[in-house]
């Protein structure tokens, strides 16, 4: 069977030139040449709002909200790249479009009867916790805010 | 019966007729798992319980009362499904040592039908990744790295001190499950699919990977990544087997309010002979930048195959395809930020020794428990959810999601039954090359063809198609209409029959199966 190029099924074979999703091209492994994407008119770089660096205050705020740390400059760089990547969304015209929460939005959510059908598994649930006292999970004292930026010995403090 | 045999057509019959017993099957699979340990497909092997389950199954067969077609069949489950009494780690330090107190619904359903659970398979940490390389138990190796087909095509290294072949990745994040099925250590495996995590490794490992419609199979017990897109995935060696698994897992679950309430009737796949009433759509945007010329050729050949058999094959357009990966990136990180908030060390999982305050304990626990990938996504997600960014990013992405979903809707309403696309941009990359780029970049590249189906909640399946120049599997993807799995699988089965994908030639399997080593054709598919 003769191999027909996909051009037969793809009429113009062109990806619409109006801006493209930019990806880090990554490292392609040897063995075969990846197909060059079909060329349209000279590619115009997509218009993206000028990328401002995320301020240290915001980074600190994120660390507090998420309770995970950036750890090093790579972590911050990763966030910058992620934001840059996400900025491409603004190229899409979404006037008059409603946000979609769920693909099942046309259906009714299942509601069951408010009857107790299971439970009484205190013992099993407590088994997985490291620190318990009788039937309580034990936590260190609360209402103590995380150390302020000035007091922390984290990467962000070093970068301020 | 051979380990290579197809579940439905061969093994089940063999079990019923007593030509093989469940304990024999189980023992052979366990032995094979041991001798293929270097693949690192399994995190936990539940030898004792598996043998016990096999014995119980044997009793049932002796009495002539098997529970069904899955009775006695060895299966594996990805390690982000809760399994009672068995460690469930999600390949993360955060859940090392966590023994689930309950079974995920899908696991329970399999056990209720007598399936034998061999163990939990390896994955990317918390199912974030496209290579199964970022878990704390190490990367999964693609069994095809050790196949005769790959070794024959490898360029011999002139000065190789190491006898190891340049092994290739299994794809992800359900790489362990795919590798387990591909290397014959089990007959079917459960994976999960959020952005392609079942179909991607299926394509790289040469197995069938089915992503069901969102809402068809219960997610209760599947540790969530993105609640609005996650589904349990099914990995098998042939399409018929995938239909069997689907039949036993699908259906409303009162414990998962996102499962639909419609009645689900398990089905047997007809042997389609006439495709003339079929309309196959070829979405032009799936000719993505970076798609290898090989896969392009296979895709084209496949389209021809359908056309020459009488089907209507048309080019279609899904104009927002190129934004789906960006949209996914925002929605995924946002939901991840929310879902990972439950890991604070108090009720389960890792807990730090820091005890100055609740917050500092939480922060330390999460610092110690999560790897860079997970932390990176949590931080990005929190950024997109900040008050000042919520509309700009999160809501915007939700709007784009609607556009993507309606793209599909338009195409299906225009008369197209099934879409045919590539599953991956190329065959599996060598591990050493894959890790040169970070997880986020790789995921963005590798998910591009698969995750739009998750956006729209549509069913999709990878069917192994042919071997690449390097001797590695290449698969093609079929995407169907919501809840029309029967049609999707029927077409996939027809295609599978046409392409006659070769059986992997693995030394270890030959040794275990010697004596019943049949010719290739009869083996993996009916």
Q: What is the pLDDT of residues B299-351, one digit of tens each?
A: 999 999 999 999 999 999 999 999 999 999 999 999 999 999 999 999 999 99
Identify which of A27, A81, A130 has the shortest CB distance to residue B436. Answer: A27
Average pLDDT score over residue span B398-404: 97
pLDDT at site B161: 47
Choosing from B92, B132, B197, B248, which is the catalytic residue? B197
pLDDT at site B515: 36
Average pLDDT score over residue span B212-232: 97
Choosing from B4, B78, B120, B211, which is the catalytic residue? B78
Does B161 or B488 have the greater pLDDT score?
Answer: B488
Task: Give the list of residues 6+ apart from residue A105 with CB closer than 8 angstroms, or none.
Answer: none
Measure in Å the smallest separation between the Cα of B127 and chain A Cα atoms. Answer: 19
Banded pLDDT at B444 (limits 50, 70, 90): confident
Residues 42-71 of A with CB under 8 A from B: 54, 58, 61-63, 65-71
Q: Considering only alpha carbons, which residue of chain B is nearest residue A97?
A: B399
Comparing CA positions, the residue from B184, B236, B190 lying closest to residue B32 is B184
Q: What is the ipTM of this complex?
A: 0.87
Choosing from B145, B173, B426, B524, which is the catalytic residue? B173
Look at residue B112 and tell me whether its pLDDT is greater than 80: yes
pLDDT at site A10: 54
Question: Which of the residue ranges A156-160, B14-18, B339-343 has the most confident prediction, judged by mean pLDDT?
Answer: B339-343
Q: What is the pLDDT of residues B49-93, one digit of tens each?
A: 999 999 999 999 999 999 999 999 999 999 999 999 999 999 999
Pairs of CB atoms within 8 A across A/B: 282
B25 neighbors B8 (Cβ within 8 angstroms)? no
Flag if B393 and A86 touch (Cβ within 8 Å).
yes
Report the run of H or E that residue A82 belongs to, with start and end.
helix A73-86
Q: What is the pLDDT of residues A26-66, one digit of tens each?
A: 334 433 333 344 443 333 344 445 567 889 899 999 999 99
Does A71 or B475 have the greater pLDDT score?
Answer: B475
Question: Which of the residue ranges A1-5, B11-15, B511-515 has the most confident prediction, judged by mean pLDDT?
Answer: B11-15
| Average pLDDT of every residue of chain B | 91
Is residue B94 exposed (0-12), middle (13-18) or buried (19+ Cβ within 10 Å)? buried
B8-152+168-323+397-520 is a CATH 3.90.1300.10 domain? yes
The rounded percent of chain B whose pLDDT value lies above 70 is 93
Comparing CA positions, the residue from B79, B93, B41 lying closest to residue B373 is B93
Domain ranges of chain B: 8-152+168-323+397-520
Look at residue B7 and tell me whether its pLDDT is greater than 70: no
What ranges in B370-517 are assigned the alpha helix state H? 372-385, 387-389, 396-413, 431-434, 439-446, 451-456, 485-499, 507-513
Neighbour count for residue B47 (Cβ, 10 Å): 15
Look at residue B276 and tell me whether its pLDDT is greater than 80: yes
pLDDT at site A5: 46
Look at residue A112 and tell me whether its pLDDT is greater than 90: no
């Amino acid at each position: 069977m003769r191999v027909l190029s996909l051009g037969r099924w793809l009429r113009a074979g062109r990806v619409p030139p109006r801006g493209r999703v930019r990806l880090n091209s990554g490292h392609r492994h040897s063995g075969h040449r990846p197909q060059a994407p079909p060329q349209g008119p000279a590619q115009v770089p997509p218009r993206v709002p000028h990328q401002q660096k995320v301020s240290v205050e915001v980074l600190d705020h994120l660390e507090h909200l998420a309770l995970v740390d950036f750890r090093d400059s790579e972590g911050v760089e990763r966030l910058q790249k992620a934001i840059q990547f996400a900025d491409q969304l603004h190229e899409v015209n979404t006037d008059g479009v409603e946000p979609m929460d769920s693909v099942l939005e046309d259906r009714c959510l299942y509601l069951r009867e408010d009857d107790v059908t299971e439970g009484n598994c205190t013992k099993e649930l407590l088994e997985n916790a490291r620190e318990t006292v009788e039937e309580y999970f034990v936590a260190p004292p609360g209402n103590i805010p995380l150390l302020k930026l000035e007091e922390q010995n984290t990467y962000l403090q070093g970068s301020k | 019966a051979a380990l290579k045999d197809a579940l439905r057509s061969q093994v089940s019959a063999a079990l019923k007729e007593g030509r093989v017993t469940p304990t024999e099957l189980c023992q052979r699979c366990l032995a094979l798992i041991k001798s293929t340990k270097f693949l690192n497909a399994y995190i936990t092997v539940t030898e004792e319980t598996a043998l016990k389950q096999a014995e119980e199954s044997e009793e049932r067969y002796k009495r002539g009362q098997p529970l069904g077609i899955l009775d006695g069949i060895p299966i594996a489950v990805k390690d982000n499904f809760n399994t009672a009494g068995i460690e469930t780690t999600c390949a993360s330090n955060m859940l090392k040592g966590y023994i689930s107190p309950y079974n995920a619904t899908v696991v329970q359903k399999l056990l209720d039908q007598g399936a034998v659970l061999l163990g939990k398979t390896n994955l990317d940490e918390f199912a974030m990744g496209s290579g199964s390389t970022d878990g704390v138990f190490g990367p999964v190796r693609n069994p095809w790295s050790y196949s005769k087909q790959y070794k024959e095509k490898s360029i011999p290294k002139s000065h190789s001190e190491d006898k190891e072949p340049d092994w290739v990745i299994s794809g992800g994040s359900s790489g362990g499950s795919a590798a387990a099925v591909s290397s014959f250590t089990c007959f079917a495996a459960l994976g999960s699919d959020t952005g392609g995590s079942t179909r991607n490794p299926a394509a790289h490992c040469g197995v069938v990977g089915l992503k069901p419609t969102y809402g068809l199979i219960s997610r209760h017990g599947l540790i969530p990544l993105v609640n609005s897109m996650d589904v349990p995935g099914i990995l098998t060696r042939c399409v018929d087997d995938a239909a069997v698994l689907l039949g036993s897992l699908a259906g409303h679950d009162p414990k998962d309010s996102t499962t639909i309430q419609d009645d689900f009737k398990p089905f047997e796949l007809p042997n389609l002979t006439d495709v003339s009433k079929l309309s196959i759509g070829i979405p032009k945007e799936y000719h993505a930048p970076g798609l290898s010329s090989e896969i392009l050729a296979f895709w084209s050949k496949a389209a021809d195959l359908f056309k020459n058999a009488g089907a209507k094959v048309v080019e279609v357009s899904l104009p927002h395809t190129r934004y789906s990966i960006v949209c996914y990136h925002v929605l995924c990180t946002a939901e991840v930020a929310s879902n990972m908030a439950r890991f604070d060390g108090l009720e389960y999982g890792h807990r730090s020794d820091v005890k100055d305050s609740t917050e500092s304990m939480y922060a330390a626990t999460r610092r110690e428990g999560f790897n860079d990938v997970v932390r990176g996504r949590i931080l990005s997600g929190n950024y997109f959810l900040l008050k000042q960014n919520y509309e700009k990013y999160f809501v915007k992405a939700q709007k784009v999601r609607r556009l993507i979903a309606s793209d599909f809707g338009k195409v299906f309403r225009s008369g197209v039954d099934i879409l045919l696309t590539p599953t991956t941009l190329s065959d599996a990359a060598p591990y050493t090359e894959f890790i040169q780029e970070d997880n986020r970049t790789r995921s963005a590249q590798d998910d591009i063809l698969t995750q739009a189906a998750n956006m729209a909640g549509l069913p999709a399946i990878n069917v192994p198609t042919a071997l690449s120049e390097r001797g590695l599997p290449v698969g093609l993807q079929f995407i169907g209409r919501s809840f029309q799995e029967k049609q999707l699988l029927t077409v996939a089965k027809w295609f599978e029959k046409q392409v006659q994908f070769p059986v992997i030639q693995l030394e270890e399997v030959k040794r275990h199966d010697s004596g019943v080593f049949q010719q290739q054709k009869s083996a993996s598919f009916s």
